[in-house]
Amino acid sequence: MPLNSIPPTTTVSNLHEKLNAAREKISVDVGFYGGVIPSNLNDLIPLVKEGVKGFKCFMIESGVDEFPCVNKQQIEDAMKKFQELQREGKDTVFMFHAEMDCGDIPKPDGMDPKAYNTFLHQRPQVLETNAIRTIIEVAKEHPEVRCHIVHLSASDALPMIRQAKAEGVQLTVETCPHYLSLNSEIVPEGATEYKCCPPIREDENRDKLWEALKEGTIDYVVSDHSPCVVELKLMDEGDFLGAWGGIGGLQFGIPVVWTEARRRGCT
């Protein structure tokens, strides 16, 4: 992924710095993704020519200063670049952290920062549906560009995703082991290891994600692991609002998903 390591993969020189750092340290096949930020429109085509496999952007603040989010106009400008590439026979994919604040983030005033529901209150499903509605609108205007929604957690977005796919929009969707195996009702007070963005939601929501996965509306299950040093999780304070957002445990993804799938009648 292009962020959470410095420098972000937003220019060719930054990509080369990462390639040099990785050399002699990689034991499996690895592909590098680029990032789309407000200031690097002219770096996108050179990054593809240097070998990046696709691009990721955030539609809400990423949490790190070096990777700011993009607005709808900036997404459209990037889409035009990717459309040029497609016409030259160079394939890429545009991936979206699909949360978008249209003034919908509630303030947690007076709410307990140790309570998981305080954090869940701050990341309602409407943030995801705002973003996905925008992605679909832009994708329809640039039909040659492959678009991908990363780590879907909001079941409210599934009807519009189904409709977009039925209409032939080039859109794929992923979810993650933690959304398929956990639910908000089980998160203990102060257990910040459960914090990720978008958040783990209610059990009813999880059931709908499984239905969408089994029917093919959700295309992939991916790790989206976001490890960090333990200090960033603020586990002693149990502060869900201040803690780093991300799920570790990459090694558990396959058995966790299989255990839950088997429980749901999958072979």
| Token couple for 97 | 């952290």
- Asked whether the predicted pLDDT for residue 195 surpasses 90, the reply is yes
pTM for the model stands at 0.95
State which H helix or E strand residue 172 sits in. Answer: strand 171-175
Per-residue pLDDT reduced to its tens digit, 64-108: 999 999 999 999 999 999 999 988 888 899 999 999 999 988 888
Look at the chain and count its residues.
267
The average pLDDT across 204-221 equals 98
pLDDT at 249 over 90: no
Q: Which residue has the tokens 């409709």?
A: 163
**How does the average pLDDT of the chain come out, rounded?**
95
Alpha-carbon torsion angle 69, 157, 145, 34, nearest 10: 40
Q: Tell me the helices (H) and strands (E) count for the chain, helix number first.
A: 9, 6
Contact present, 184 and 116 (Cβ < 8 Å): yes
Please, are residues 153 and 198 in contact by the beta-carbon 8 Å criterion? yes
- Give pLDDT tens digits for 22-71: 999 999 999 999 999 999 999 999 999 999 999 999 999 998 999 999 99
Question: Measured between alpha carbons, how far is 178 from 196 in angstroms, rounded to an integer?
Answer: 9
- β-sheet with 34-35: strand ranges across: 34-35, 55-58, 93-97, 146-150, 171-175, 220-221
pLDDT at 148: 98
Q: Which of the listed CATH numbers 3.10.330.10, 3.40.50.670, 3.75.10.10, 3.20.20.140 matches domain 12-190+200-223?
A: 3.20.20.140
Q: Do the beta carbons of residue 206 and residue 180 sit within 8 Å?
A: yes
